[in-house]
Structure 1
Amino acid sequence: MGQGRQEHVTTSLAGAVSEEISASLAPIDAELARHYPGDPGTRQPVHTVYVPADVFAADTIRSWGDRALAALDEHAPDAAAFATALGLSDDLAEPVHDRVRAKLEHEPVEDLRVDFEDGYGARPDTEEDETAARAARIVAEAYAKGTAAPYMGIRMKCMEAPVRDRGIRTLDIFLTGLLEAGGLPDGLVLTLPKVTYAEQVTAMVRLLEAFEKERELQPGRLGFEIQIETSQSILAIDGTATVARMIQAAEGRATGLHYGTFDYSACLGVSAAYQASDHPAADHAKAIMQVAAAGTGVRVSDGSTNVLPVGPTEKVHAAWRLHYGLTRRALARAYYQGWDMHPGHIPTRYAAVFAFYREGFEQAAARLSRYANRAGGDVMDEPATAKALSGYLLRGLDCGALDLDEVARATGGLTRADLEGFATPRRADLTISGT
């Protein structure tokens, strides 16, 4: 009834009312756009591998892959053995095992940080100078030869007084060396550790601004990660969330917040035997980091485990199960990146990541397909859910858990561009439904 009838539309408010409201909210609109630009839409590595600067070499990435493959050959030589060790379901055993081996052969490390901090320690200045220059040369050569990880960079010493000058000098030598060798690679990542005050982040910003000006780089070219390793970086002395201040103090240069499992735990007095990424203190810190970073374009990374998969097979399997479980736990909590400290960790890193995306792939693809085609189903999805579904599929594609062809088939022909469109909707699209 009334389908063919043209309704008579009337309003009561003058157009000036809408104009006045828009004018009054213009500063808020600008604040939202500046502080909450949303996810950058770029690839996020599933892990960061830290290698002490003195042992970093041209073959480090390949060496990690080879050592990881050797661990598989020795302790889980086939899909069934690997699945049994980790508790994988029968339907995931073959695809996960095969993809893990392929990953270790072709891209064993997604993100590598040459460590000049805890993993390197205090050295004579001449030695650290030479090591920093050497690191720059090796990184530049790796990108030139196509053997680099997608992301590479250094973790400098922090901005605290005893090591501040040393950290600044090492960063200067490294960045200058890259420029002299041909330029800054697109995958360059810098990490600032042990940040306790937002003013230290501001100091890092001023340092990078000075370098950009000196070398005539585009303003804002250099970004950095903030490492959360102290209680003061979570809760300020006045009770406010310090980490939120740090993100703003970075003035758009912050790319990530990385949780430091052991420094943070020790700072709170957690006994060594209980220092782990699933400790309640760790959950509290990461939850605050996650809320502070949401919508800002700054990504959150989990920390590491110090239980190494070495020794007899029984001990290796126990360490693998621990690492696999911690990684799956982090993924379920939307921490899509973590640290790996030993080559033996990367088989289980990739196994956990691949299983996470493959076991939920078909359901996510079907839901997104129904949403895209406005078809009904047993779940009523909205733009925000479509964003989450597409983000899930994109992350699965980026790490190698999924293939573009199978995603296209399962979603009824959606392309990567389609997925990216759903993953980065306009802010208004996410609030139309009010949920």
Structure 2
Amino acid sequence: MIRQGALGAAALARIESDLAATDELLEQNYPGDDGRRQPIHTAYVPADRFTPELPAAWGAAALEAAGGVAGLADLAGKLGLTRPEELAALVAAKLGREPIEDLRLDFEDGYGNRGDTAEDAAAVAAAEQVAKAVAAGVAPPFIGIRFKCLEAPTRARGLRTLDLFVSTLARAGELPPGLVLTLPKVTTVAQVRAMVFVCEQLEAAHSLPAGRLRFEVQMETPQLILAHDGTVPSATLLHAGQGRITSLHYGTYDYSASLGIAAAYQSMEHPAADYAKNVMQVAVAGTGVHLSDGSTNILPLGDPEQVQAAWALHARLVRRHLERGIYQGWDLHQNQLPTRYLATYAFYREGFAAAAARLRNYVHRIESAIMDEPATAKALANFIRRGLVCGALTAEEIAAEAEISLSTLESIALTRATQTEDSNV
């Protein structure tokens, strides 16, 4: 006999009505991870220096700076990483195959003010070079420009550069699938709304699908962490972006300087930096928007002792933001690529065995000392999936250790289905 509870159909209908707005809010503003790839880093160069050959040249220069495969292994050992020879082989292959995951052609701080005639020509030339790289199959998976910000002194110049770049690319053919536009030095939500309008105008002008142009926001001002009225614009702007914002990027030095932090103490690990990134991390949670750390300006250049010290610092900072759940950062020089990949690959490979065992036990319902719940299983799957996408892990290793298929891994990571068994094992 089924017992009748105290809550009937009328009560449920009332609750459904009361929570309809909440349901809509969660569905529209917190859709979760859409499965798109997040690059592990963004490298940037002055826009007029880009050629289709640049990514390969960076990879070759990085490998040479490290001293080849043997040098990579030696560096990994000095950094205290496990299985240095294994890491060196993987990183050397990455530097030859895909040395830059995300490349930004810079028209802002890295380019400066060279006059309208020169910047107009550079914007058109940059788009032409990107189109050539894409057509030749040598462009990084993600590529685009950082134009000047929407503050009054640079607004018209920045928008003209953006217009010329996108218009030239559109005339050359289909836009690159990994096109990225970076909006720097944002101070208000109104600037994000203005950028949405700009994207709409460019799409209409070039007959692009609605929503095709998306952009990332560089968080470089304290006004986005705490506004004049006590609100947190870094959260509000995500939803004002109407689904066009792909990621938030922390700007180490502009943000630090705006707080009055002395130059010698400006860094990715300053307490003020951690506070800003913690706010940003909470803001993006559940939205599907990615989060990126900033950069260190201590470069592996100079005498051998200076180079080793800079590599050690960079590797530590990369590992630090990975452990804090921030899976992307910025690199300013090709010599930072060895430690970007060594530190990242070590992070995934050192944690893989434990993560794979726990995920295997969860999927196949194997009793163990750790009882993981669906949320933790999702985190385990995402960890392994990120390692696979960047090249730190292989599909064969995942099948052998986790005893699941890649489709099951994807399903759990993105929670597209409730899966407890894998029929493909």
Tell me which interval the TM-score lies in, with the shorter structure as reference length.
Answer: over 0.9
Q: Where does 1:201-216 land on structure 2 (aligned, <5 Å)?
A: 201-216=192-207
Asked whether 1:46 is paired with 2:40, we answer yes
Query: Aligned with 2:103: secondary structure?
Result: strand
- Is 1:362 paired with 2:353? yes
SS in 1 for 2:19: helix
User: Which residue of 15, 20, 41 corresponds with 1:21?
Assistant: 15
User: 1:428, CA displacement in angstroms?
Assistant: 10
The equivalent of 1:3 in structure 2 is none
Structure 1 equivalent of residue 235 of structure 2 = 244
SS of aligned partner of 2:143: strand
Alignment correspondent of 1:433: none
Q: Does 2:4 align with 1:11?
A: yes
Name the SS of the counterpart of 1:297 in structure 2.
coil
Q: How far off its partner does 1:80 sit? A: 4.4
Deviations 1:250-299 (A, max 9, x none): 11110000000000000001111111000001000000000011111111
Q: Offset at 1:79?
A: 5.1
Task: Work out the CA distance in 2 between the residues paired with 1:249 and 1:14.
Answer: 39
**Partner residue of 2:52 out of 54, 58, 70:** 58
Instruction: Confirm whether residue 30 of structure 1 aligns to residue 24 of structure 2.
Output: yes
Distance apart, 1:101 and its partner CA: 0.7
TM-fit CA distance, 1:85: 2.5
Distance 2:244 2:418 in 1: 26
Q: Could you say which residue in structure 1 is the equivalent of 2:422?
A: none
SS in 2 for 1:248: helix
| Change beyond 3 A, Cα 1:209–1:391 | same
Q: Pick from 67, 79, 102 the counterpart of residue 93 of structure 2.
A: 102
Which residue number corresponds to residue 188 of structure 1? 179
Letter in 2 for 1:86: L
Distance 2:251 2:71 in 1: 34
Instruction: Mark the CA change 1:138 to 1:422 in structure 2 (over 3 Å): closer, same or farther.
Output: same
1:86 matched to 2:76? The reply is no
2:211 paired residue number: 220
Paired residue secondary structure (1:190): strand
Give matches, 1:247-286, under 5 Å: 247-286=238-277
| 1:177 aligned to which of 160, 164, 168 | 168
2:310 corresponds in structure 1 to 319
- Classify the secondary structure of the residue corresponding to 2:382: helix
Unpaired segments ≥5 residues, structure 1: 1-7, 430-435
1:61–1:234 Cα change, 3 Å: same
CA contact (8 A) 1:86 1:317 kept: no
TM-score by length of 1: 0.94
In structure 2, the residue matched to 1:161 is 152
Over the matched positions of the two proteins, sequence identity in percent amounts to: 54
Partner of 1:287: 278
Matched residue, 2:415: 425
**Aligned equivalent of 2:292:** 301
Structure 2 residue aligned with 1:337: 328
Structure 2, unpaired ranges of 5+? 420-425
Amino acid at match of 2:8: A
Q: Deviations over 1:376-408 (max 9, x none)?
A: 111110110011001001100010000011101
Q: Alignment partner for residue 197 of structure 1, among 188, 197, 204?
A: 188
Contact 2:72 2:338 in 1 (8 A): no
CA distance in 1, matches of 2:380, 2:235: 27
Shift of 1:426: 6.1
Runs of 4+ more than 4 Å apart: 426-429
SS in 1 for 2:392: coil
Instruction: Sort the Cα spacing of 1:164 and 1:80 in 2 relative to 1 into closer, same or farther, 3 A.
Output: closer
Corresponding residue SS for 2:67: helix
Give the length in aligned residue pairs: 418
1:363-378 → structure 2 map (5 Å cutoff): 363-378=354-369
CA distance in structure 1 between the aligned counterparts of 2:227 and 2:329, rounded to whole angstroms: 25
Inter-partner Cα distance in structure 1 for 2:162 and 2:4 = 62
Partner in structure 1 of residue 106 of structure 2: 115
The structure-2 alpha-carbon separation of the partners of 1:27 and 1:426, relative to structure 1 and needing over 3 Å to count, comes to farther
- 2-side partners of 1:281 and 1:119: how far apart? 24
Paired position in structure 1 for 2:423: none
Question: CA contact under 8 A between 2:52 and 2:139: conserved in structure 1?
Answer: no
Q: Quote the Cα distance in structure 2 between the aligned partners of 1:301 and 1:209.
A: 26
Residue equivalent to 1:5: none
